[in-house]
Amino acid sequence: MTAGSSARKRGARAEVPITAEAIVDTAFRMIDERGADAFSMRSLANELGVFPATLYWHVGDRARLLGLVELRWSEGIELPDECEHWRDWMLELARRYRRHALRHPHVARLVSVERARNVDTLRIPDAIIGKLSSLGLGDQIVHAYNAMMGAVRGFVVLELSMAIDPPPPDDADVEDDMRGIDPERFPHLTQHFHLFADRALSVRWSETSQYSLDESYEYLLQLLLDGIEGRMKPRRTRG
Partner DNA sequence: ACCTGAACACCGTTCAAGT
In the complex, the smallest distance separating the C-beta of residue 168 from DNA, rounded to whole angstroms, is 13
The contact mask relative to its own copies for 151-170 (x = CB under 8 A, - = no) is xxxxxxxxx-x--xxxxx--
In the complex, the smallest distance separating the C-beta of residue 40 from its own copies, rounded to whole angstroms, is 16
Task: Decide whether 20 or 200 has the Cβ nearer to its own copies.
Answer: 200
In the complex, the smallest distance separating the C-beta of residue 103 from DNA, rounded to whole angstroms, is 24
Task: Decide whether 22 or 183 has the Cβ nearer to its own copies.
Answer: 183
In the complex, the smallest distance separating the C-beta of residue 49 from DNA, rounded to whole angstroms, is 7
Considering only residues 96 to 115 of the shown chain, the ones binding its own copies according to CB under 8 A are 112-113, 115
Residues shown for the chain: 239
- CB neighbour list of residue 179: distance below 8 Å, 6 or more residues apart: none
Task: Decide whether 49 or 105 has the Cβ nearer to its own copies.
Answer: 105
Distances (CA, A) of 40 to 28, 146, 226: 12, 33, 44
Task: Decide whether 9 or 236 has the Cβ nearer to DNA.
Answer: 9
Q: Report what 56 binds from its own copies, DNA, none; CB cut-off 5-8 Å by kind.
A: DNA
Alpha-carbon gap, residue 30 to 44, rounded angstroms: 8
Contacting residue, 21, 53, 187, 212, with its own copies by CB under 8 A: 187
In the complex, the smallest distance separating the C-beta of residue 162 from DNA, rounded to whole angstroms, is 20
